[in-house]
A and B are shown apart, each in its own frame.
Chain A
Amino acid sequence: EAGVAQSPRYKIIEKRQSVAFWCNPISGHATLYWYQQILGQGPKLLIQFQNNGVVDDSQLPKDRFSAERLKGVDSTLKIQPAKLEDSAVYLCASSSVRGSAGNTIYFGEGSWLTVV
C-alpha cells in the first residue's frame, strides 16, 4: 500500500516569496492533515480536512497560509508571503475515519522549507 506522498521534499525561498506544497494521502483515507514541525518542537496541527471540507483550521495563520482539498483527495498548502519563522517541516498526514479518535494517523516524509 502506498504511503502519504508529498512534494517537493526541500524548498529554499526568500522572505516575502510564495511557496506551495502538495500532498496525496493514502488511498481511501477521508481525513487529511497538515502539520508544521519547527526544529526542536513537536508537530503542530495547522489544518484538518474531512473529504473536501475543513474540520479544524484554528491554528492556521490565515493571513499568509491557505490550504485546499478541492476534490477530497490530494491537497495543497500555500504560504504567501513567507516569513523567516515559517522555516519548518510541513508534514502531511491522513487517517481512515474521522469518527474514531483511536485511528492511526500516517505521515508523509515531509516538505522541508527554509526561508532566507
Chain B
Amino acid sequence: AQSVAQPEDQVNVAEGNPLTVKCTYSVSGNPYLFWYVQYPNRGLQFLLKYITGDNLVKGSYGFEAEFNKSQTSFHLKKPSALVSDSALYFCAVRGPLPYGGATNKLIFGTGTLLAVQP
C-alpha cells in the first residue's frame, strides 16, 4: 500500500534563511509526487510535482523539491524564506495506474506547518 510521511509537525525558520520541509514515501513502482500548500481557511494550492526526468523540480513561488529514489524522499525547499510562506504544506504520492482499471488514490501526508519569523 502506498503511504507518505511528513516527520515534522512544524518547521520554524527565520525570514531570509533557507527552508526544508521533509517528505518520505512508500509506493510500489515509480512514484508520482506532489506538494500542495494550504493557507488559513483556504483550499489546497498546487505547488509542484515530480513525474519523471530531472530529480530537481521547480514550482510556484520560488519553491523546488528534490526527488531521491534511494532515500524515497521528496523534500520541499526554498533558498530564502518569506513571512508570506507561512502555511500548511502537504506532500502527496500516487503510484502508477494498476492494471484492470482499478484506481490509485492520491495519498496525502499529515501536513507540516511552516512558520517563518520576521
Q: Are B51 and A102 in contact, CB atoms less than 8 angstroms apart?
A: yes
Choose, from B64-72, B77-85, B108-116, the stretch at the interface. B108-116
Choose, from A60-68, A75-83, A106-114, the stretch at the interface. A106-114
* CB closest chain-A residue, reference B95: A101
Other contacts beyond A56-B103, A107-B46, A110-B43: 14, CB < 8 A: A4-B43, A40-B110, A41-B111, A42-B90, A42-B109, A42-B110, A44-B108, A56-B105, A102-B32, A102-B51, A102-B94, A107-B36, A107-B43, A112-B41
| Contact A108-B43, Cβ < 8 Å, known A42-B110, A42-B111, A102-B49 | yes
Task: Say whether chain A's binding surface is mostly helix, strand, loop, or mixed.
Answer: loop
7 contacts between A and B (CB under 8 A): A42-B108, A45-B106, A91-B43, A102-B52, A104-B49, A105-B34, A107-B43
Task: Say whether chain B's binding surface is mostly helix, strand, loop, or mixed.
Answer: loop
- Is A70 located at the chain interface by the 8 A CB criterion? no
Interface footprint category on A: 20 to 34
Q: Are B45 and A107 in contact, CB atoms less than 8 angstroms apart?
A: yes
- Is A43 located at the chain interface by the 8 A CB criterion? yes
| Contact A101-B96, Cβ < 8 Å, known A42-B108, A107-B36 | yes
Q: A residues within 8 A CB of B52?
A: 102
